[in-house]
Amino acid sequence: MDDRFGNLELSPSYQAVSESEKDKIRQIYTVLKTLDPLIREDRAILLAIDSLHFYTPNIEHLRRRCAQLIVLAANQSKLTKRIDQAERRASIEEKSVVQYIPNSKIEIVEESERKETQVRKKMNAWNSLENFDTSKGEDIDHWLKKLECCFEIDGLNEDVKKIAVIKLKTSKEIMEYIENLDENERRDYQRVTTLLKEKYNGSISIQNAQAQLRSYRIDIREEKFYDSCIKLGDLVKVAYNYIGEKDMLKAQLGELEKALRFREDLWSKLNNNPSYKSFQEAARDLESLLIVKNSMNKNKNKKFEKAAERPKLEKVNVKCFNCGLVGHYASNCPKKVSDDTEVNVPKQRRTFEASEKEVKKLDDDKVSEQNKLIMDNLIRREMYRRLISEEKKDNKGNNEEKIEENESSEIPSVGEGNDRTMKVKEEEILTFEVKGAFDFYVPVQCSDGNNIIALVDTGATKSCIAESRAVKLGFNKRKAIPGKCMMMNGEILETLGTFSTKVMFHNLVYLELKMNVVRDKDMGDNRYSAVLGSDALLACGATIDYLNKRIEIGGRPLITLNLDSTNEKPTGIIRRCKEENRKTKNNLKVDLRKKPREEEDLTFKRGKVYRDNKSELFKNFHEERGQVTYRCNWRNSLNNVSEPSKCYWKRRKFMNDFEEDGINHFKSHILEEGSTSSKGWRSNKIVLRKLQ
């Protein structure tokens, strides 16, 4: 005989049924005792036997039906008590004087009922605890601690009752897990809680949350938007539970920003307001913006609906504006003229097409001018490169002798004295003089194959492109939404809209970006047609080196153009090239206060170019470089040297070589720089034809 069902098995009604029905009665009896631990033994036995017909194998349905039976039995007992109390009240009122007191009422409450309600209130602490949901993936440890506090309030000390409460307050999965344990483990409360903590520790739910987070989509409907955002935040909490509270808000806002990338208005709102104190505040703010946007769209739709509801005119009274006859519209006119004539085209449409043609013509002029500047810079760079290579060959022998001398000499070791000297130099105040600014201009190739010049602007938050260039690339002004962008000087420009395009740098790096379209007059300079802002530089991982005046994109050096015609820049280029090509050992000591000697940079092995003659040479070259005949200008400038030397004749020979094979070499140079497409080569070929 089982101790749990001792009184039940002694009942004659229980012994009269079959074994299968006995098993069902035992299950009903267990559920009744679990739902109401204070129920009397005899009442529980009667309810279990009488409710045999309500048995169902589904444990959830069985629990619900047993709860209804307990409520019905309690209501029946209260009803009988009230009938007895009514009879007692009638007898008491006859003998009592309370009825003569105005607004008085006789209340009869039994002492047993009063004690029972007090005990019942005290024993319902565990019932107020929320059920544990395994689908959320939370750790069960915290919930079990709360349940233990409820047990202390209720005064439950029996392990069997505690385990029964755990079954009631958890899901079906945990109930089946406890029932499948061994008999000894199933009756030990400490063992059951230990096993539950090991199984439901939240580790499996982290993987599920991360998988859901990767494929999560925000519900953009107004009534579902806020709940969808909150669910996303809960997934982030579970997936990234190892980070602190300060970084949790950043992670939630970052995932929300990724999920809203298909809605530009909501994405920009979230991206431009990083001062949210909580994730709920951000979700409410975005929800309000969504409601406003939807209401504006509804008003637009109402206008179209009102227009559709207007009574249509009968075609009998309609006059055609094309032929003048009655009975049809101008759009359905059989005598409609061809599209080539502009007789019946609306004035607004003609004006727009005319302005579009002017914009395209302006772009052709700007592209040809920028291609000329690109060719100019590349030709000068090629001339300097070949000139330095000639000088490098002449100075090779002298440099090798210097290297041997430096190798024979020992490098002084760094001792205490050197450390003291270095500390003194670090403590010295370095003073620099600002002489001017430097702008980076880079050539880029558009999707149509044309090469343009772009200005690198680190202060611009968004990249911009001229209207004339954007129209050539397929920008539709009528469908675009105007906006605003901020330049590096703080100026706010009104944009004509956004435009997605693909550009290629000449180091074979492709970049897909969304650019703001601005008017050509707002660009400020016709020498460039685009501005690369911080969004493009950040996307391609650009590195800007102001010391050497170079840019790297994707770890590859990028061609930069010198569009300012000053006499100091070519000299600086030659000096920098010579210093980079010089083969000497690395010097450990660097004195920032020491100025480079200009006479040493102007000295060659087989001759010496005097400073006056060299400045005159570069001056003549830059005055005439705006023309097309570069070779003649360079030769005339060389003829102006008053004191010819061996270096002079060497340069004359260099220019004769450049005259013979300069064009072919420049073609190969253009191919090496990245102009690979047929359209891009065609635009460069036009400039080469002008040079010839």
Q: What is the pLDDT of residues 558-567, one digit of tens each?
A: 888 877 654 3
Residue with the larger pLDDT of the pair 1 and 521: 521
Mean pLDDT, all residues of the chain:
69
DSSP letter, residue 599:
H
DSSP letter, residue 331:
G
pLDDT at position 679 = 44
Place of tokens 């431009």: 272
- Number of CB atoms found within 10 A of residue 310's CB: 7
Q: Alpha helix locations (H) across 260-346?
A: 264-271, 279-309
If pLDDT is split at 50, 70 and 90, which confidence band does 260 have? confident
If pLDDT is split at 50, 70 and 90, which confidence band does 580 have? very low
Which residues, listed in sequence order, are joined to residue 511 by a DSSP beta bridge? Answer: 503
Q: Which of 92-106, 220-234, 330-344 has the lowest mean pLDDT?
A: 92-106
Helix axes 59-95, 172-179, angle to 10 degrees: 100
Read off the pLDDT of each residue in 425-451 and give the average, rounded to a whole number. Answer: 76
Residues in the chain: 692
Whole-number Cα distances in Å, 136 to 150, 203, 234, 607: 23, 12, 9, 84
Task: Return the ∠ at Cα 689 (arms to 684 and 692), rounded to 5°.
Answer: 130
Helix axes 245-259, 264-271, angle to 10 degrees: 160
Distance CA 166, CA 148 (A): 10
Q: Which of 332-336, 498-502, 688-692 has the lowest mean pLDDT?
A: 688-692
Give residue-wise pLDDT tens across range 66-102.
888 888 777 776 655 555 555 555 554 554 444 444 4
Q: Are 208 and 230 in contact, with CB atoms under 8 Å apart?
A: no
Give residue-wise pLDDT tens across range 535-558.
888 888 888 888 888 888 877 888
Instruction: List, as one string, the DSSP characters of 449-516.
Output: S-EEEEEE-TT-SS-EEEHHHHHHTT--TTT---EEEE-TTSPEEEESEEEEEEEEETTTEEEEEEEE
Place of tokens 């299968």: 20
Q: Which of 209-213, 309-313, 387-391, 633-637 has the lowest mean pLDDT?
A: 633-637
Give residue-wise pLDDT tens across range 199-227.
777 665 677 777 888 888 888 888 889 88
Q: What is the pTM of this model?
A: 0.30
Place of tokens 């000299």: 571
Read off the pLDDT of each residue in 110-115 and give the average, rounded to a whole number. Answer: 52
pLDDT at position 314 = 52
Residue 480 pLDDT > 70: yes
pLDDT at position 339 = 42
